[in-house]
Amino acid sequence: MIREVLRMGDPRLLQVSQTVEAFGTPALHALIEDMRDTMAHLDGAGLAAPQIGVLLRVVIFGVHANPRYPDAEEVPDTVLINPVLEPIGEEMEEGWEGCLSVPGLRGVVPRYLSLHYFGFDERGAPIERTVQGFHARVVQHECDHLEGILYPMRVRDFSRFGFTDVLFPGQNVQDD
Ligand code: NI
């Protein structure tokens, strides 16, 4: 079921989400199905459970080859529960981000270039990956939602924050 995505200003987006205690349950599967439906409907790259008002440590993400974004790096479809991120080194990289909870805007955000991440899929099977670049950026953005952090809170240079259609005229840039 497509759910309403909360927008910046809703206090639920600022909460710290709770650890998932039980895997493979009907409730967890239903949540993830709703998250998938909602992300697909909005053509997003990722979604965190608190964005649909469920304060649990669940994120989904995935980016595929799309002729509209020939330079976008692919990211596998992933359900990541109770994630733990460990940056590799101190190096940060700046890049443009958007968010389904901040529609119509984009900003440049510094993120760790490289990291390990750990967590579980919806059945409780462990996930462990080492990633860089755009994949690392997507994971950091989504996991920030679980701490109540929205990307504008990480923007350092507000001369590179604005409306998508003004920043990128004539381009069809997705929101998240
Ligand atoms: Ni977001």
Q: What is the distance in A from the centroid of ligand 1 to the CA of 67?
A: 23
Q: What is the distance in A from the centroid of ligand 1 to the CA of 157?
A: 19
pLDDT recorded at residue 68: 62
Q: What is the distance in A from the centroid of ligand 1 to the CA of 90?
A: 23
Length of the chain: 176
**What's the pLDDT tens digit per position in 79-130?**
999 999 999 999 999 999 999 999 999 999 999 999 999 999 999 999 999 9
Q: What is the distance in A from the centroid of ligand 1 to the CA of 107?
A: 12
Fold of 11-167: Peptide Deformylase (3.90.45)
Q: Kindly name the residue from 4, 73, 90, 142 that is annotated as catalytic.
A: 142
Token pair belonging to 100: 């389904």
Give the full edge-to-edge strand order of the sheet including 92-97: 92-97, 105-112, 161-163
Domain boundaries, the chain: 11-167
Q: What distance separates the 2 farthest-apart alpha carbons in the chain?
A: 46
142 belongs to the catalytic site: yes
What's this model's pTM, rounded to 2 decimal places? 0.95
